[in-house]
Structure 1
């Protein structure tokens, strides 16, 4: 493999160095004739590793998972149009979930449009800016590089935007420009921290502190935007100092420590942790840090708190009553509140009075048919301080929510975008990006069928997640929202796919279990192995978490409201 000649930097090698400067170590790719020269240039960088995926959508999902694991940017490189438009769904998900994914595409030769050339892989029109226009709706910055001298500034600006806004960006590099000479990359950093307006911050901190100090039972609630705001640590410290009851919205599970003395569980309307919603809804002062009030996170908009009692802290602004403080960043506000708030554990005391200990089902006899609760009771025992649990859209959401995360354990969910099939590619990317422990993924059979081939890539690059493939014969989450024959799928021999994808190579292992005894043996075997382990778990079609039934009913009601504009 050639290495970079630092006396002759090209657009492609400049991009490679900037990815490295931003913290990227792996990038996900599919080749195509518009990006082949670019891939050659990227391969010259000895500190970057190319991960060749099975399709562009999965490469995007893998980049999503990688950004979650590392906390920094990720990158996916595809060819023009047929590749870029295949990946756009994954990039949209990263946009919705506030992940700095750098979407990189090869592009047509710079002369093609001026010379009125019709090109393959396109829409059959001499207009080759449509991919940028489409990506502009799901990224924070889009650039097309047609001249090598302009490439450095454009690449730097795009990566800077991704880091600052925690959103995807799009970089398109023309096929005949990727190998062209350009400036050497001047040393610089990309991890700048945004700062608040000091006057607005001071006013907001005073107003919020006065409001909370006047309350009898104040509560803190974490939302998923605390990750994008880099405010997880500040929220933890604030909760520790003020002694308020602490809850999380479902899409923020794992973003605050569940071993925190003040933790009350998941605030999710009718499917909240028992006792949690009763305390939150009757509190006289709530500080929401980074909430996303969607139909999914609110169970069909069924939260019962009084809005006039809520402070809504967004990543860059704060709303208290009718007063909005702009250019106040969440991390700064939470830090400014430390020392200003009176200690008050009244809400926590009330929660402890009404809450009940979690019921862990007893293990049955080895021949007892598996139920979903027995499966997740064993997953609970698998978790330790180094674990990450990644759950796919569906029943796994609700079962995962009920698990208690040990100190240091992580939890990943794609609740805002909820793209079925996300978890397989995300498992690949997360496993490559994580710095500790082992990834445990819970994936339903319907979701798995959308993106199954990326198991092959996991085997190829020797990642070692434990995947519980829950085989219950269809799209369970859709069944509970609105059932029909379209929710049933063709069954596969999922465990045997490990042999198909391995083709005699690697250390991957798969098995099928249907009883408690078989599951216990499979888990013991998986823990002893170093490669990917796929455990296909046979579950009755009607066996699902009761909260999925409640949640699905409320979401269905919200979806089916009559058209009031008619």
Structure 2
């Protein structure tokens, strides 16, 4: 009864909107609702975006995929489409200071349907409990009118990204050039691990091929998380070539996990982005405490490797 009532109310809410959008959140994973979300997107024709922690949960080759909705640092033109929508369905969102860019998202509660793993809230009310997200999205897909207006608006204003200028001989490697090379490396057999900090933002710009995994940790913003996560992912999914983007400050917190990677014979590629400190913290509050000791990182890995197995 609750499911039917929730679907009825949501369908009425969305079918009268002119340019509604869909936004996927990270709780779709725990709700096992990613396939149902794609089913809904296929059916309704709305523009589709994801919140940053949900990157990789929705296929980026979907014809109506816009990119990441992350306020002021969204994928180009994505925030404009979501912000100008007259209705939006968020599936599994977590709104915290990180995901909302300091609670700066220009969203209006009365325009939103919030779908959590076992609860649906429509605008300022009503709310429906004991409704599973997967069941709700699948049932809603059968009740919505096809309405591609929001995606058509996006297509009207979209301008393709430019390419970074080529590096001159002996010029220092630029981040945009590095990530262009990383983009070209990605396949469906890859998985990307993005560390807290600069890599949060740079990895969000990567366009994931079908089947490419993606993980990053936004709930707590724990630096050093990615080294252990890279170890665990590579061990759990040996068929994937894990590509990790890690800053020097984060790497120094958990560098010893490299030892287990080598012992287990993992094939991970780590791009260690050495910018001499806690650069992301500089953007928040600068000070001498953000400068760290520079290591001989290749020398450290060689010492851990100790001439055994395959390393470089």
TM-score band (shorter)? Answer: over 0.9
- Matched residue, 1:323: 126
- Matched residue, 1:420: 223
What is the aligned counterpart of 1:380 among 176, 183, 194? 183
1:518-557 pair list within 5 angstroms:
none
Provide structure 2 residue ranges, at least 5 long, that are not aligned to the other structure. none
- Matched residue, 1:248: 50
What is the aligned counterpart of 1:344 among 137, 140, 147? 147
What is the aligned counterpart of 1:286 among 61, 74, 88? 88
Q: Are 1:475 and 1:488, in contact at CA under 8 Å, matched by a contact in 2?
A: yes
Q: 1:381 to 1:319 in 2, by over 3 A?
A: same
- Matched residue, 1:498: 301
- Matched residue, 2:173: 370
Which runs of structure 1 show a deviation greater than 2 angstroms over 4 or more consecutive aligned residues? 362-368
Residue 445 (structure 1) aligned with residue 234 (structure 2)? no
Q: Provide the secondary structure at the position in 1 that maps to 2:299.
A: helix
Aligned equivalents of 2:7, 2:239: Cα separation in 1: 37
1:388-467 pair list within 5 angstroms:
388-467=191-270
Q: Are 1:223 and 1:291, in contact at CA under 8 Å, matched by a contact in 2?
A: yes
Per the TM alignment, residue 365 of structure 1 is displaced from its structure 2 partner at its CA by 3.6
Instruction: Calculate the aligned-residue CA RMSD, in Å.
Output: 1.0
What is the aligned counterpart of 2:18 among 216, 222, 232? 216
Per the TM alignment, residue 279 of structure 1 is displaced from its structure 2 partner at its CA by 1.1
Cα deviation 1:401-460 (Å, max 9, x = unaligned)? 111111111211101121111111111100001153300000000000010011011001
Q: Provide the secondary structure at the position in 1 that maps to 2:63.
A: coil
Residue 262 (structure 1) aligned with residue 53 (structure 2)? no
Q: Are 2:23 and 2:49, in contact at CA under 8 Å, matched by a contact in 1?
A: yes
Aligned equivalents of 1:341, 1:434: Cα separation in 2: 37
Q: Are 2:194 and 2:244, in contact at CA under 8 Å, matched by a contact in 1?
A: yes
What is the aligned counterpart of 2:275 among 472, 476, 479? 472
Aligned equivalents of 1:299, 1:504: Cα separation in 2: 45
TM-score, reference length from structure 2: 0.97
Q: Provide the secondary structure at the position in 2 that maps to 1:247.
A: strand
Cα deviation 1:164-209 (Å, max 9, x = unaligned)? xxxxxxxxxxxxxxxxxxxxxxxxxxxxxxxxxxx11110011111
Per chain length, whose mean CA-contact separation is higher, i.e. which structure has more relative contact order (CA < 8 Å, sep 6+)? Answer: 2
Q: Are 1:281 and 1:306, in contact at CA under 8 Å, matched by a contact in 2?
A: no
1:73-84 pair list within 5 angstroms:
none
1:46-125 pair list within 5 angstroms:
none
Per the TM alignment, residue 276 of structure 1 is displaced from its structure 2 partner at its CA by 1.0
Aligned equivalents of 2:163, 2:207: Cα separation in 1: 11
- Matched residue, 1:232: 34
Q: Are 2:167 and 2:173, in contact at CA under 8 Å, matched by a contact in 1?
A: no
